[in-house]
Amino acid sequence: MVIFDLDGTLWNSTVPIAESWNIVIERETDRKGWLTAADIEPVQGKTMNEIADILFCDFPQEERYRLSRLCEVYENEYITETGATLFDGVEETLAMLKDRGVKMAVVSNCQEGYIKAFLDSMDMWKYFIDYEEWGRTMMLKADNIKLVMERNGASKGIYVGDIQKDSDAAHQAGIECIYASYGFGEISDAVATLRSFDELPAVLDELGFLE
């Protein structure tokens, strides 16, 4: 089974996230146009509470989490309508892997409903057999990776992500990580590196994941 991170690996949603959050922030506070895509990029891959602690650090804790929950809900609705930007070669490569019988899933540290917004807005349901997110289970990414593998009877798996926390989670779950170097961060201990998403089939073949 090949399990993917979402932000920084399959798509870049920093622009619609910033847009949707600014709408909520303007409605709930006296701030306008506060966040940009550049503010969102460094916090991608963190849990929503961690993001709130960083972006809303000047608000009391109760208020920062209240704002975060409102932003999460509206973000899902907004992105379902607008979609975001897939990285080059994502859909063509996923289709190729599906044709070769590869089981694929998505595991992210996002809020509940965010992966569904991705699958709905980009018509991606046909490529993935399962997904899991921090906001639904409130579990660590490593535990969600293991959960998805167990749920689908996968004895062998590999994770594709773009930041060190992805690789750490994969190793904690007992599998290796492929580094999507075109994404938002760095990984020092990946089993392989992708310069672009369309390199994935060849890498999986080299690692013995394709028949």
Q: Using one digit for the tens of pLDDT, what is the confidence trace for 32-54? A: 888 999 999 999 888 888 999 99
Is 144 among the domain residues? Answer: yes
User: Is 167 found in the same domain as 195?
Assistant: yes
Is 78 among the domain residues? Answer: yes
Partner residues linked to 147 by β-bridges: none
61 pLDDT above the threshold of 80: yes
Is 211 among the domain residues? Answer: no
211 pLDDT above the threshold of 80: no
Domain, as residue range, for 124: 2-12+86-206
Mean local confidence (pLDDT), 58-66? 93
Residue at which a domain ends, from 82, 114, 137: 82
In the chain, pLDDT over 90 holds for what percent of residues? 93
**The whole model's pTM is what?**
0.94
The label of the residue with tokens 């961060």 reads 185
Is 165 among the domain residues? Answer: yes
Position 134 scores a pLDDT of 93
Structure tokens at 208: 């013995």
Position 159 scores a pLDDT of 98
> pLDDT averaged over the chain?
96
How many domains, the chain? 2
131 pLDDT above the threshold of 90: yes
In the chain, pLDDT over 70 holds for what percent of residues? 100
Q: Using one digit for the tens of pLDDT, what is the confidence trace for 153-198? A: 999 999 999 999 999 999 999 999 999 999 999 999 999 999 999 9
Mean local confidence (pLDDT), 56-70? 93
Is 51 among the domain residues? Answer: yes
CA distance 133 to 109: 6
Q: What pairing do the DSSP bridges indicate for beta strands 176-180 and 158-161?
A: parallel
Position 32 scores a pLDDT of 87
Position 210 scores a pLDDT of 84
